[in-house]
Structure 1
Amino acid sequence: MRVVLCAYHEMGCAALESVQEVGFDVAGVFTHAGAQQENSFFASVEALAHQQQIPVYCPEDINTPEWVAMVASLQPDAILTLSYRQMLSPALIATAKKGAFNVHASLLPAYRGRAHLNWVIIRNERETGVTLHRISPIPDGGPILAQSRVVITDEDDALSLHRKLVRTTREQLPAWLRGLQAGSLVERAQDEALASEPGQRKPQDGHIHWQQSADDIHRLIRGVAYPWPGAYSEVDDQRFIVWKSRVITQPHQHAPGTILSTEPLYIACGENVLEIVAAGLSHHDNFSAAQLVQHFSLHDGMQLS
């Protein structure tokens, strides 16, 4: 089977390796130009394709007539997308004999759209997964062909969960591709009553509100931990990012955001207490709690914004 791959990052690498494992011909890889800060922690499907002398394209809009004609000239049997930011137009999908298929890192129909990796941690889901579905006009809404579940533990943060999802994709995709070629995968419509799309997150959504419970704040910190932008607070209008925290089940009568102790660094929340374990002043550093205390001259009774 001849495949056009539209993909990015490590999910794209997992797909390229899987397609080649089952012996399919990769006609071309369509991807996005990677930002330097992203490629510092994510593997590059562009680099992997270049190593294997597979043609690579980075169109700003893959749905223009010129790019649709380019894809059609590759004569794909199927188009496969993973972590690709552009929706495929009906004209583009029609260039592939079997159609176009997407691998989405959630258990569809739940958590359609972007930031699903972050949302499942923030919302305290106990599992997520990987779904293969046919691409339809509804984003992430096409019929499901296969799914695999992934457990979310209390120790998982965004990066560890990302790696679990990439690993699961790499493990499951070869069998799914063989089933797709053989026509043995049964498509089932998604239940729209169960569909959810929490929405894209922005860096400012990481602002810590100390009126929330320590559990809620801790999940936010885990959900947007490095290499994502991080959850942050302020001391006298100076921002710091909390990279790692711990929930302390300890009732108190203090205003949320009050520093209860500096060794360890305990912060009063709307319910219970949060210990700050690691923090930073920017995306590029990582302080211990003791270093943070020293930098800001923190003391008991001080109020965080």
Structure 2
Amino acid sequence: MTATTLKPHPVTAVVFAYHNVGVRCIKTLLARGVQIALVVSHEDNPAETIWFESVTALCHEQNIPCITPDDPKLPDLKEKLTAIAPDFIFSFYYRHMLPLDLLAQAKRGAYNLHGSLLPKYRGRVPVNWAVLNGETETGATLHEMALKPDAGAIIAQTAVPILPDDTAYEVFGKLTVAAEQCLWNALPGLISNDFQTLPNDLSVGSYFGGRKPEDGRIDWQQTAQQVYNLYRAVAPPYPGAFTDQFGQRFIIGKARLNTKESTNLPPGLHVVDNVVLGVCGDGRALHITELLMNGKIVTVAELTALATTA
């Protein structure tokens, strides 16, 4: 008589996810053999530029149940999780805080992937804030979820560089890969319950709120580096750094720091030697290679005509 070998019970998860990070991390869970019982995502906002991949489309492709409630605090969602009784709850770029009674439905823990090297840049849109503040490095952090946002113990981190000319969009591409790597490397330990945590010391960290399109308004009195960082932080497909001049609103589509010496021109937009410059408070300038007005590229000749008639 031979002994029967019991197959290990599959590890189950409920996943809250959105955006490219949500798509890649769901694929990572599946590749690691995690059984996803339910995905909770968002309906796309018609007022938002949707440049990223769709979690709901991935779930349809993979035959994973997916719902998009307006509020994760709704009682019926808790009932669903209670019935599933998942081993884990994961949050990958989901835009709402999850209540503690919901997190408690995970038998083996609830974990979030945040787009910074915690405890720095807790809160909203961490990539945009990091670029705006001129950081040279950021990354992805997998951490336990707690009452406060991005405050739980750290499971794993993966760093990426922010190069001097990187836009937030480019950094977000690196961060998506970092998130996938971070989760991939951490999952075996989570599944086997053989992992260690690191403290998430909020006293040495930072917290930032969300950003609105109006926050992209350029203050030409700032230094060229500050204005350049703003451009990089909100460059398309984000709403863009903008200025109102000559009776029009202009958005900087593409730019770089001008390597020439400082100019005596007043702050603002200028055409010099057939080049569009954004002159800043320190006398240095941005060389603007793509300037947009009403969603269309403005030529040097058109800008010169507007400046002449203003």
TM-score by length of 2: 0.91
Question: What's the counterpart of residue 142 of structure 1?
Answer: 152
Q: Is the partner of 2:53 in helix, strand or coil?
A: coil
Q: Is the partner of 2:97 in helix, strand or coil?
A: coil
Question: What's the counterpart of residue 263 of structure 1?
Answer: 274
Question: What's the counterpart of residue 280 of structure 1?
Answer: 292
Q: Please, which of 104, 109, 120 is the counterpart of residue 114 of structure 2? A: 104
1:62 maps to amino acid? P
Q: Please, which of 84, 87, 95 is the counterpart of residue 94 of structure 2? A: 84
Q: Matches of 1:143 and 1:292 in 2, distance apart? A: 53
Task: Name stretches of at least 5 consecutive residues in structure 1 with no aligned partner.
Answer: none
Question: What's the counterpart of residue 251 of structure 1?
Answer: 262
Question: What's the counterpart of residue 3 of structure 2?
Answer: none
1:260 and 1:236, CA in 2 relative to 1: closer, same or farther beyond 3 A? Answer: closer
Q: Matches of 1:221 and 1:136 in 2, distance apart? A: 34
8 Å contact kept, 2:246–2:306: no
Q: Is the partner of 1:120 in helix, strand or coil?
A: helix
Between the two proteins, the alignment pairs up a number of residues equal to 298
1:54 maps to amino acid? I
8 Å contact kept, 2:271–2:300: no
8 Å contact kept, 1:280–1:292: no
Q: Cα offset for 1:224?
A: 0.2
Q: Is the partner of 1:43 in helix, strand or coil?
A: coil
Q: Cα offset for 1:184?
A: 2.4
1:297 maps to amino acid? A
Q: Matches of 1:178 and 1:37 in 2, distance apart? A: 40
2:76 maps to amino acid? E
Q: Which moved more, 1:268-277 or 1:243-252?
A: 243-252
Question: What's the counterpart of residue 205 of structure 1?
Answer: 215
**Equivalences for residues 44-83 of structure 1 within 5 A:** 44-83=54-93
Q: Is the partner of 2:123 in helix, strand or coil?
A: coil
8 Å contact kept, 2:165–2:256: no
Q: Please, which of 242, 252, 259 is the counterpart of residue 252 of structure 2? A: 242
1:69 and 1:253, CA in 2 relative to 1: closer, same or farther beyond 3 A? Answer: same
Question: What's the counterpart of residue 172 of structure 2?
Answer: 162
Q: Which moved more, 1:38-47 or 1:24-33?
A: 38-47
Q: Is the partner of 1:297 in helix, strand or coil?
A: helix
Q: Is the partner of 1:172 in helix, strand or coil?
A: helix
Q: Please, which of 126, 136, 142 is the counterpart of residue 132 of structure 1? A: 142
Aligned residues: CA RMSD: 1.9
Q: Is the partner of 1:266 in helix, strand or coil?
A: strand
Deviations 1:153-203, CA, capped at 9 Å, x for gaps: 123111111111111222331221111112222112211221211221110
Deviations 1:122-163, CA, capped at 9 Å, x for gaps: 111000000000001111111101000010012311111111
Question: What's the counterpart of residue 294 of structure 1?
Answer: 302
Q: Cα offset for 1:275?
A: 1.3
Q: Which moved more, 1:29-38 or 1:115-124?
A: 29-38
Q: Matches of 1:59 and 1:246 in 2, distance apart? A: 42
Deviations 1:237-263, CA, capped at 9 Å, x for gaps: 310100111212422333212625151
1:294 maps to amino acid? E
1:90 and 1:251, CA in 2 relative to 1: closer, same or farther beyond 3 A? Answer: same
Q: Is the partner of 2:159 in helix, strand or coil?
A: strand
2:125 maps to amino acid? A
Question: What's the counterpart of residue 195 of structure 1?
Answer: 205
8 Å contact kept, 1:262–1:299: no
1:196 and 1:256, CA in 2 relative to 1: closer, same or farther beyond 3 A? Answer: same
8 Å contact kept, 2:271–2:304: no
8 Å contact kept, 2:117–2:141: yes
Task: Name stretches of at least 5 consecutive residues in structure 2 with no aligned partner.
Answer: 1-10
**Structure having the higher Rg:** 2
8 Å contact kept, 2:271–2:277: yes
Q: Which moved more, 1:126-135 or 1:270-279?
A: 270-279
Q: Matches of 2:256 and 2:301 in 1, distance apart? A: 17
8 Å contact kept, 1:215–1:247: yes
